[in-house]
Chains A and B, each alone.
Chain A
Amino acid sequence: MITDMTFLFCFLPIALALYYFLDNKVKEFILFILSLLFYAVGSIKYLFIFSCSVAITVLLGRTMTKAKKNCNKKILLIIGIVLNTGLLVYYKYTDFFISNLKLSFIECKTKNIVLPLGISFFTFKSISYLVDVYKERAKLEVNPIHDALYLSFFAQIQSGPLSRYNDMSGNKNKFDFDLFAEGVYRFLIGFCKKILIANVLSNVSTEIFGTSFEKLSTSYMWLGSICFSLQLFYDFSGYSDMAIGITNMFGYNCPENFNYPYMTESVSRFWRRWHITLSSWFRDYIYIPLGGSRNKHKWRVYFNLFAVWLLTGIWHGAAWNFIVWGMGYFIAISVERLLGLPQKINSFIGKIIYRVLTLVFINFQWTIFNSKDLISALVRIKKMLIFTSNKITDRRTAFLLKDYAFFIVVAIVFSIPVIPWIEEKTKNNKYMYALYEILSSIIIVGAFIWAISFVVAGQNNPFAYANF
């Protein structure tokens, strides 16, 4: 895990030293070996399968570039997609299928398969690599090690971002101090987001989502769901910042994955701000190939949306609540499309109300997402909608609000673009901007040390998206 102290103070210094002090020719090879080591630490059981999968995907990609006939290329593409998707389906969905067969009274045992590290992300990257090579969108580098590194790079293997082959560009022959400094800054920001906000708020959400139904009160459940919404944002965007930061530190570029998602104007636009690389992956490799929005038949557009959101739900987890969660977005986005929302709302107040309603909807969606199963998701939503009081948990709500007030306020404040706003306001005044830079640097250093103290004090949780 990239917030582990062994990663920070053992793996990363070694990786940086090797990368920057070794000959340019071997840099990517070293980085690839380090990525395999990183994978072995996280998922040693599957290292062999992962290595084979990377090798086969690169081999297929490279062979495709040499194939002269289009049908041969297509066959290679299909083989690659089937192999990669097959692995994902087997490891991620076998137990889901078996448990559903069980419900149908067919006797069979679940296999309790442990997920290989980052399998969902790796599979999607492999598919995008193969498709981009097939469509000749990927400008392949001379050395196939670059391809293997793209597929396995330790910074992105666990939870993305789902970068494309061409995204992983950069001049590895020359040290780019600007990019490196930008990377360190992003890494520090991400580390603080994950440890100081996501992990701390997870104390609240984990407790509330772990409380038995009969003890849940409306206030308690709302607090839990809001904290989870904030936690997940800081967890995943924190991870993405760290991944982007590390990628930059090694001289490569990486696409953005978040853009203040809770500032969204509508449900549809939320997904242009949240996990951007996943949304664009589905757009480019599922939605558009299916025909996208430009279709003669209106029903076909909605079918395409249905397919995308069904797959999005399934991709996030092998459970019915994830499928319902995906369908929730399908319905909301379809309704917005049908009614022309929010464009048809003209008044300022109306727009504000629509934004609030959007956030409430997203909050309910995260409640479904974070529930153990569909039944518990529905019970929790019922508790949120129908007023229920409980003397003890109501008191607990007040206690948690008081105890975690600082972190909740900070989480809310930084989920809106205050930093870009301050930068905008100060950039024309040299002294103010210098003051802002100095202050922000001091705060970041202080926050980073504070974050390390949390890890040392035993408050470090896995990334929420690590299991997807």
Chain B
Amino acid sequence: MSGKSSASKKFLSIIFVFFLFVEFFKNGSYQTIDVFLDYFKQKNYDETATTIKEIENKYTSEIWKHRELIDINGFMAGKLNMHGLYSDMGMYITDDKYIVSASEYTSTDYEVNETVDFRNYLEENGINLLYVNEPTKYIDDELFIKEFGVETYSNQNADLFLKRIKQEGVNTIDLRDNIREENIDVSDLFYRTDHHWTTAAGLWATSIMADGLNKYCGYNIDTSYFDEDRFIKNEWKECWLGEQGRKMSLQYVGLDDYTELKPNYKTSFTFEESDGTTYDGNFDGFVDESIYNLDNDVYENGSWHYSYNLKNCINNNVDTGKVLIIGDSYAHVIQPFLSLQVHEVDCIILRNYERNFNLRDFIISSKYDTVIIAYAQFMIGAHDDPESANYRMFMFK
């Protein structure tokens, strides 16, 4: 077996050994030895114990040149024009480098029952309910079949759910209807590399929701305050990488654009922190502009979508209205804008609350006159999977 090996193989072996030891020292592998020793010292190896898989995942995620390696992977996937290489992470990519995800079928029974029961409770207590369906990155499930040959039920689930709650008399707004009526290209409402919608889309949706508050909940909001020309625009081209894009790599999907919108009229708010302390400010108080730093690493930097914060607040310039938004992360660019024309707008995301949180008591004690449920439509069906982060989004008890 031990014949004469070629010079190139010998050279290759020297490079390999050098590479192994460089990685060994650069990764601080000597510290990993301690991690393994701790693993062996564990008394039990049940569900609570650290697993080898966890050790491996941590080591791999901190490997030297991790980001460059992710970029190499994405670069090659891009060069090979692959659209489904990361489908195991739930992501597909179109020719326009627009990342989309599929949804499983759901009966919608759970969501319908919970929503109707919640509406009945609110009605008994004289509180309005408005359900707002926020679209995902495509409004026709056929897109998935055409582009990837994959079945998705995102829009079919939403259609079924909305139809059923409408039949039960729940006030609903389906933003997909507005997209169709206004002939908007849905991809213009979303970031390519992130599952969230843009700030401009949030403002557009807020205007429609305000219209819904007027129509269904007895409000009298002047929706012209949400016109884009009433806002100052700050635009950045190719400046940030969304959450999905970070997994698929910068080399594969490229950077996203971003637009910040702030009202060009005077605003005055009293913000309330989670510990109950209050302070005064204007609309700028919603926006953390430190995120907009082009010098920051696009992988390390915070998501630009989250530069708009959910803050419980009182608008000192408006006298009426107390609204609770039961929302998701899309609400980061709804609540600040809706607060411009409603006296008090609070927002909660149910998945962030403990199981013992009593939503109904909270609503009654806080004296809201209106509750808006504003959910991205992929929340419908999340309850089918107990492991889902969004499992509790429709638990309105």
Contact = CB atoms under 8 A, between A and B. Distances in A.
Nearest to B150: A396
B32 A10 contact: yes
A45 B8 contact: no
B61 to A, nearest CB: 8
A282 B392 CA distance: 56
Given A449-B72, A453-B73, A9 B23 contact: yes
Interface in A348-395: 391-395
Instruction: Give the contact-size bracket for chain A.
Output: 35 or more
A177 B56 contact: no
A171 to B, nearest CB: 9
Given A176-B2, A445-B15, A13 B69 contact: no
Interface string A245-282: 00010000110000000000000000000000000000
Nearest to B33: A10
Interface string B295-333: 000000000000000000000000000000000000000
Contact of B5 (A10, A177, A188): A177
A186 to B, nearest CB: 10
A22 interface: no
A185 interface: yes
Contacts of B8: 437-438, 440-441
Given A179-B2, A392-B151, A403 B85 contact: yes
Contact of B9 (A182, A445, A450, A452): A182
Interface in B1-28: 1-13, 15-17, 20-21, 23-24, 27
A5 B149 contact: no
Given A13-B29, A395-B145, A400-B149, A45 B5 contact: no
Contacts of A187: 16
Given A6-B56, A181-B10, A181-B13, A450 B76 contact: yes
Contacts of B60: 4-5, 455-456
Contacts of B4: 178
B72 A450 contact: yes
B83 interface: yes
A289 interface: no
Contact of B149 (A10, A203, A399): A399
A454 interface: yes
A253 B23 CA distance: 27
**Centre residue among A170, A395, A400 by max chain B CB count within 10 A:** A395
Contacts of A8: 20, 23
Interface string B23-61: 110010100110010011000010000001001100110
B186 interface: no
A457 interface: yes
A439 B165 CA distance: 65
**Centre residue among A40, A253, A452, A457 by max chain B CB count within 10 A:** A457
**Centre residue among A13, A179, A188 by max chain B CB count within 10 A:** A13
Nearest to B49: A44
A6 B55 contact: yes
A9 B27 contact: yes
B76 A456 contact: no
A248 B9 CA distance: 13
Contacts of B88: 203, 458-459
B85 A456 contact: no
Interface string A306-327: 0000000000000000000000
A5 B70 CA distance: 14
Given A41-B52, A182-B2, A440-B8, A398 B69 contact: no
Interface in A8-29: 8-10, 12-14, 16
Contacts of A248: 1
B216 interface: no
Interface in B166-185: none
Contacts of B13: 177, 180-181, 183-185
A403 B59 contact: no
B127 interface: no
A181 B73 contact: no
A404 B150 CA distance: 16
Contacts of B1: 179, 182, 248, 253-254
Nearest to A452: B69
B12 A203 contact: no
A397 interface: yes
B5 A179 contact: yes
A232 B148 CA distance: 25
A145 interface: no
Interface in B76-90: 76, 80-89
Contact of A392 (B21, B56, B81, B149): B149
B83 A403 contact: yes
Given A395-B149, A450-B72, A445 B12 contact: yes
A179 B8 CA distance: 13
Nearest to A182: B5
A45 B44 CA distance: 10
Nearest to A441: B8
Contacts of B21: 13
A12 B20 contact: yes
A453 B63 contact: no
Given A181-B12, A182-B5, A400-B149, A9 B83 contact: no
A6 B59 contact: yes
B84 A403 contact: yes
**Centre residue among B16, B23, B83, B249 by max chain A CB count within 10 A:** B16
Interface of B: 1-13, 15-17, 20-21, 23-24, 27, 29, 32-33, 36, 39-40, 45, 52, 55-56, 59-60, 63, 66, 69-70, 72-74, 76, 80-89, 145-151, 249
Which 7 residue pairs are nearest across A and B when measured between Cβ atoms? A396-B149, A395-B149, A184-B13, A453-B73, A437-B8, A178-B5, A9-B23
11 contacts: A13-B21, A14-B33, A183-B13, A393-B149, A396-B148, A398-B149, A400-B84, A404-B82, A437-B8, A457-B73, A458-B88
Given A13-B21, A391-B145, A455-B60, 6 more contacts: A41-B36, A42-B52, A182-B9, A203-B87, A395-B145, A456-B63
